[in-house]
């Protein structure tokens, strides 16, 4: 019963954040943090942080396109300034674009002014390069506090965490090992975190190449985070396991 109530609370919170909760609150609410989506449908979202980069972003995009998969990229402003062409390729290919901050700053312990500048600077930059106003934010390191979440909520963001993490940026595991980790922990509504930034590697590209067919064989449909969250907000959606949280 308690677990069901927690899942229902997540459902109501996200619906409210998306403007589906009826009467608006007079005060801005803290941003909702979504690590996975409670659903019985076999859907999963692949996400990529820290890019774009000249080396890894095109390779990841190539894998996604060959497999007819849409994914979500959380863009760092300092990186997209160097390689704006890859953001535009992601947009052209129908990928989901979220924000990872202008300078990849950890928001925990920062003033409201610093948080707002980090978030808004990247928003303005992404829009200037042709992206829609981002509404999804991936916290560097997954770290935040009440101040950061309040600012992000005021600016209209949903914070996207993850439920499956093969830690590809540490270069600890081979592609086969990362595939095993993902397939062991994936469940309906999971959000998987990878990286296409400077700390990515060929192992990440190879792991994604292996994981997509494996997920499809298991009956999973790969969707963007926007699609995953919108599915949660639909009242007709059935509640299921929320998955582990971080």
Q: Which of 185, 195, 196, 206 is catalytic?
A: 195
What are the residues whose beta carbons fall under 8 Å from the beta carbon of 55, sequence distance 6 or more?
200
50 classed as catalytic: no
- The total domain count for the chain is 1
Q: Which residues pair with 222 in a beta bridge?
A: 44
**Residue 6 covered by a domain:** yes
pLDDT tier at 1 (50, 70, 90 boundaries)?
very low
Distance CA 93, CA 116 (A): 30
Residue 55 · residue 209 · CB < 8 Å: no
pLDDT greater than 70 at residue 181: yes
Segment 2-27 mean pLDDT: 46
**Residue 112 covered by a domain:** yes
pLDDT digits (tens, 9 = 90+) for 182-210: 999 999 999 999 999 999 999 999 999 99
Residue 108 · residue 143 · CB < 8 Å: yes
**Residue 241 covered by a domain:** no
pLDDT digits (tens, 9 = 90+) for 116-126: 999 999 999 99
Instruction: Find the helix or strand (DSSP H, E) in which 132 lies.
Output: none
Cα separations in angstroms, 151 against 94, 133, 242: 28, 16, 26
- Is beta strand 96-99 parallel, antiparallel or unpaired with respect to 158-160? unpaired
Full residue range of the structural domain in which residue 208 is found: 2-233
**Residue 135 covered by a domain:** yes
49 classed as catalytic: yes
pLDDT digits (tens, 9 = 90+) for 143-173: 999 999 999 999 999 999 999 999 999 999 9
Helix (H, G, I), strand (E, B) or coil at 209: helix
pLDDT greater than 60 at residue 104: yes
**Residue 17 covered by a domain:** yes
**Residue 243 covered by a domain:** no
Residue 190 · residue 155 · CB < 8 Å: no
- Is beta strand 43-49 parallel, antiparallel or unpaired with respect to 221-223? parallel
pLDDT greater than 80 at residue 16: no
Can you give the CATH number for the domain in which 94 is found? 3.20.20.370
* Runs of H (alpha helix) within 94-174: 112-128, 146-154
Distance CA 135, CA 234 (A): 18
Q: Which of 49, 50, 165, 196 is catalytic?
A: 49
């Amino acid at each position: 019963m308690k677990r069901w109530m927690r899942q229902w609370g997540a459902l109501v919170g996200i619906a409210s954040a998306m403007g589906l909760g009826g009467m608006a609150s007079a005060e801005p609410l803290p941003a909702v943090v979504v690590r996975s989506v409670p659903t019985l449908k076999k859907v999963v979202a692949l996400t990529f942080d820290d890019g774009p980069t000249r080396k890894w972003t095109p390779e990841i995009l190539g894998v996604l396109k060959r497999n007819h998969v849409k994914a979500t990229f959380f863009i760092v402003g300092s990186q997209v300034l160097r390689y704006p062409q890859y953001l535009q390729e992601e947009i052209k290919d129908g990928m989901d674009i979220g924000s990872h901050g202008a300078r990849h700053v950890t928001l925990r312990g920062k003033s409201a002014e610093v948080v707002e500048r980090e978030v808004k600077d990247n928003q303005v930059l992404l829009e200037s390069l042709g992206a829609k106003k981002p509404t999804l934010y991936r916290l560097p390191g997954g770290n935040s506090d009440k101040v950061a979440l309040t600012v992000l909520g005021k600016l209209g963001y949903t914070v996207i965490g993850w439920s499956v993490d093969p830690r590809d940026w540490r270069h600890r595991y081979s592609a086969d090992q990362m595939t095993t980790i993902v397939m062991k922990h994936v469940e309906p509504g999971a959000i998987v975190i990878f990286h296409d930034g400077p700390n990515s590697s060929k192992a990440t590209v190879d792991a994604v190449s292996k994981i997509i067919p494996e997920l499809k064989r298991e009956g999973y449909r790969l969707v963007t985070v926007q699609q995953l969250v919108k599915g949660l907000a639909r009242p007709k959606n059935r509640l299921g396991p929320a998955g582990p949280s971080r």
